[in-house]
Structure 1
Amino acid sequence: MYSQPSQYPPGRQQRRRVSAVVVVVVAVGCSLFGCAVGAGIGASGSAEPVAASATVTPTVTVTTTTTVRPVVTTPTASARPSPTRTAKPKPRPKPRKTAKPPKPRTDPRFSTCAEAKRHGFGPYRSGQTEYGWYEDRDHDGTVCE
């Protein structure tokens, strides 16, 4: 009784779309049919023209094109884009230099020259490793005398 309201605004109606597959199938069929008919005429062997007894029916192919209108937006005064900041890459950390362990300032075995002498060590002369462990008070080049 009542007709359903149209989904489209007044003045616009839905267009019917012809599938691209249907168009391709019809085109291929027509070309194959034309080749088969042409091959049959050429294979008849006679050079005499043959009167056509078939009637020609015109074929109409309808294609539709849908155009999409681009959406244009106008910027408003309140919708300003915020400036973008590019993040600076963090610098790579420099490799740490490993420090050599410092030479001991005193003899690692004995804390004083007297203790070293008790155990049978010393005196030490300039140029020996042990010379740097003790203080040469008289500056004669010999420690733990």
Structure 2
Amino acid sequence: MDRIRIDKWLWAARFYKTRTLSADEVERGRVQVNGHDVKPAREVKAGDTVSLRQGPVLRTVLVRGVSGQRGPAPVAQALYEETPESLQARAQQAEQRRLAPEPALAQEHGRPTKRERRELDAATGGWGERWSASVDG
């Protein structure tokens, strides 16, 4: 077997958990082969360059082998070799995420509890004499 569908190869190389998921990512344009957008049925062979986006991470790998079976991780890792530029870019992105985490993740709590809401209302003066949120006289 010297050629295989890109969606099946991505699944066998363990980039995506299911073959359906890999086919969806290819259709969404998050996977390129040799710099071109492809369809899930596009065949890859050893020597092709595959660029794929996994969340915020862009990876570029060189196809070293093809397999139609999903095997253990060491076997899957032998199917590709990540380019040095891709490894360096991933390391830089990881360092950036470490130094400047997502602001939304810094929130410890979600909505205020009933008690906290009452404390907030008491601290800001509450509704006062108004019985409605409308701004009518």
TM over 0.5: no
Structure of greater relative contact order (alpha carbons < 8 Å, 6+ residues apart): 2
Indicate the structure with greater strand content. Answer: 2
State the TM-score, normalized to the length of structure 1: 0.18
Pick the structure with greater CA Rg.
Answer: 1
